[in-house]
Amino acid sequence: MSVESVGQAQIRAQVAAVPVETCRSCGGLPPRPFLSLGRTPIANRLLRPDDLTEPEPVFPLEVGFCESCALVQLTHALPVEEIFDAGYPYFSSFSDTLCRHADKHVRDLIASRNLGPDSLVVEIASNDGYLLRAFVERGIPVLGIEPSPGPASAAREIGVPTLAEFFDAELARSLVAQGLRADVIIANNVLAHVPDLNGFVEGMSVLLADDGIVEVENPGVGALLDHTEFDTVYHEHFCYFSTIAVDALMRRHGLYLAGVEEFPELHGGTLRWRLSQAETPNPRVREYLDSERAAGLDTFDRYASFADDVRELQDELLNLLRELRAHGRSVAAYGAAAKGATLLNSSGITTDLVQYVVDRNVHKQGKYIPGARTPILDPAVLAQRQPHYLLLLAWNVRDEIMDQQAAFARRGGKFIVPVPRPVVC
């Protein structure tokens, strides 16, 4: 292990997960636990070869429910800097599905908001600029805010102005003092990553122009329950949102739901919430809130049996993999996603069952899944090694992967889709 790695390991060994003593949104009683996935490493902290000689720190991974405001959240917290460090490996532009979704989002916003050269679009957690570049190409001013140095640098390289900072109310006030107000604020797949929800939402309210809008996308907790998407739980995701919980959080800071849109195929079931500073009646919003209450998303009882569903899925998957091994079948995986780390580690799936994982993201290749220590390779190795089965850890883009791996299927290879129940196809 290098001197730098030893120093990093010593620092990380001192980091502890802190129990959540009050709800992250309403400040009420601590969340009531309903699912424990044991103690796992940080999902996106991929290992280098030198790291394999030392044990990794692991932390409790447990989810609870706030009985006051209906927010689902982790019961323990890690420092945000420990999760989104300089080695953070997620780059959105490697997903064709996400890029297509983002481009349509941009086109719809330009048309519906009449955006032009005098507008300002701000994206919080703008990653590698995969979305904002579509505005830049159309001559619309943008500002990205992305705390992870790697993705922020990649965004600047393609011409997307980006601040490498965490967004909060203080940063918002600083931007307003510089004369900036946003006509559109986009916050896609970031709300779950925010430990200080109230500071974050206050910042959006401060930065938003009086007639501006905020659009927030995040996987919905209803889909998580309905499809047994337990692997979307990891330390990076502090919270899991229903529209009920979003409504309560936003109202606290003078933002009101103006629309709800559902994308069932994106990230396993994503919701887009549109918000403004004016509260106006919206039948679609009321209908969606009513449907969530009818589904019990505001009651603990709806969540109480989820742990049993998770255990059943894990048992089925383990039994399938063990049976394949017993019959001499080889299994690789596709997608070194954070959800993959949760699935492998909480289910006890090691390299004797799944030998390696492939991923298009060159920033991940040559590293290892934390905990399970599964090597991450270039997808080109599939043609060389020809495994019998591919476990789709990135099942949320299953169609994209299957299209990319048509040659694998033509050779007789089979795909294993683990969620909502293990299926071979």
How confident is residue 5, by pLDDT bands cut at 50, 70 and 90? Answer: very low
Q: CA–CA separation, 239 vs 336, rounded Å?
A: 22
Same domain, 227 and 251: yes
When the pLDDT of each residue in the chain is averaged and rounded to a whole number, the result is 92
In a domain, 285, yes or no: yes
Same domain, 325 and 366: yes
- CATH code where residue 367 lies: 3.40.50.720
Same domain, 104 and 71: no
Q: State the CB neighbour count (10 A cutoff) for residue 111.
A: 9
Q: Which of 82, 59, 77, 61 is nearest to 23 (CA)?
A: 77
Same domain, 129 and 179: yes
CB proximity list for 47: less than 8 A, separation 6 or greater = 56, 367, 368, 369, 370, 373
**Alpha helices by DSSP H, 178-300:** 197-207, 221-226, 243-251, 283-294
Summarised one tens digit per residue, pLDDT across range 241-271 is 999 999 999 999 999 999 999 998 777 789 9
The 3 state secondary structure assigned to 306-329 is HHHHHHHHHHHHHHHHHHHHHCCC
Identify the domain containing residue 44 by its residue range: 3-79
Q: CA–CA separation, 146 vs 169, rounded Å?
A: 15
Same domain, 328 and 418: yes
Same domain, 203 and 150: yes
Summarised one tens digit per residue, pLDDT across range 311-337 is 999 999 999 999 999 999 999 999 999
What's the pLDDT at 362?
Answer: 92
Domain final position from 46, 79, 112 = 79
Instruction: Give the three-class secondary structure for 176.
Output: helix
- CATH code where residue 154 lies: 3.40.50.150
Same domain, 103 and 237: yes
**Average pLDDT in the 226-235 region?**
96
In a domain, 87, yes or no: no
Per-residue pLDDT for 68 more than 50? yes
Summarised one tens digit per residue, pLDDT across range 367-389 is 999 999 999 999 999 999 999 99
**Structural domains of the chain, count:** 3
Same domain, 223 and 357: no
Angle at 348 between CA 347 and CA 349, to 5 degrees: 95
Taking a C-beta distance cutoff of 8 angstroms, is the pair 277, 210 a contact?
A: yes
Same domain, 264 and 116: yes
Alpha-carbon distance values, 33 to 51, 76, 120, 299, 306 (Å): 33, 11, 42, 13, 11
